[in-house]
């Protein structure tokens, strides 16, 4: 969402918290109390819509990063022996494929990284290479952690992009929900004016919570409750 809408949403959260903490006092106006409850319910829906896909993206990103780190850690254990096999077989192409250093691997973007590691693992599984690796103790079972990490990385990495795309799509729906919430809040603004007579401290506290604090550098700046 755009920054000013983020600021609106943050303000709505403060208002919802304020209303939740003053339920008994709001009961002095049946209409205001009902509208306040509606605002809190709608805010909860908006907050849930916002956080759900964000959590999924964070979880998937963590899975991809953990798998990638495992590959960084374990690949040298395969590359060294593969180099020895390449020498024994006189395979120049294999020798070239396994000369990547750790720094070079870490510079690769996710998709090329997965391709390079996949090619290395495919080389290790070649019928002429696998028996040679087995002589060094690197059987398919021994290499399973690498195989599993690569599979996890390949699964999680596209899933992260898919979830980010879903967030972009759901962003429109989220903004629609926020627009509805702001409409309900403006209605509550009118209902709360009665508390100038009924409970002035409650009204003043609501007005303060209703101010939009602009985010960004240099500290937050408050705007009147016009949004």
pLDDT value, residue 102: 73
pLDDT value, residue 219: 45
pLDDT value, residue 175: 80
Confidence of residue 168 (pLDDT cuts 50, 70, 90): very low
Average model confidence (pLDDT) across the chain? 84
- Domain span holding position 87: 3-223
81-96 pLDDT per residue, tens = 999 999 999 999 898 8
Confidence of residue 180 (pLDDT cuts 50, 70, 90): confident
CA–CA distance from 143 to each of 13, 79, 100, 116, 127 (Å)?
50, 12, 18, 16, 15
Q: To which H or E segment does residue 167 belong?
A: helix 144-192
Q: How far apart are CA 205 and CA 18, in angstroms?
A: 8
How large is the average pLDDT for residues 47-55?
Answer: 68
Q: How many domains does the chain have?
A: 1
Instruction: Find the Cα–Cα–Cα–Cα dihedral 19, 21, 27, 30, rounded to 10°.
Output: 20
In this predicted model, which residue has the larger pLDDT, 158 or 165? Answer: 158
Write down the H helix ranges in 90-143: 92-97, 102-107, 110-124, 130-135
Q: How far apart are CA 32 and CA 189, in angstroms?
A: 9
pLDDT value, residue 185: 95
B/e letters for 37-67, b = 16+ CB within 10 Å, e = fewer, are eebbebbeebbebbeebeebbeebbebbeeb
């Amino acid at each position: 969402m755009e920054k000013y809408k983020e600021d609106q949403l943050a303000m709505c959260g403060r208002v919802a918290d304020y209303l939740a903490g003053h339920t008994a006092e709001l009961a002095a106006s049946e209409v205001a109390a009902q509208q306040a409850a509606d605002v809190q319910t709608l805010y909860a829906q908006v907050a849930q819509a916002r956080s759900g896909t964000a959590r999924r993206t964070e979880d998937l990103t963590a899975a991809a990063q953990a798998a990638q780190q495992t590959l960084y850690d374990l690949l040298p254990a395969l590359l060294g022996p593969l180099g020895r096999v390449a020498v024994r077989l006189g395979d120049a192409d294999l020798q070239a494929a396994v000369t990547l250093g750790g720094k070079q691997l870490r510079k690769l973007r996710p998709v090329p990284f997965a391709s390079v590691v996949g090619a290395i693992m495919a080389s290790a599984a070649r019928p002429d290479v696998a028996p040679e690796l087995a002589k060094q103790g690197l059987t398919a079972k021994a290499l399973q952690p690498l195989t599993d990490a690569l599979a996890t990385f390949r699964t999680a990495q596209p899933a992260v992009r898919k979830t980010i795309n879903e967030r972009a799509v759901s962003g429109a729906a989220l903004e629609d929900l926020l627009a509805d919430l702001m409409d309900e809040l403006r209605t509550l603004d009118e209902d709360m004016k009665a508390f100038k007579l009924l409970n002035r401290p409650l009204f003043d506290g609501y007005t303060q919570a209703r101010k939009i604090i602009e985010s960004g550098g240099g500290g937050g700046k408050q705007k009147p409750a016009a949004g």
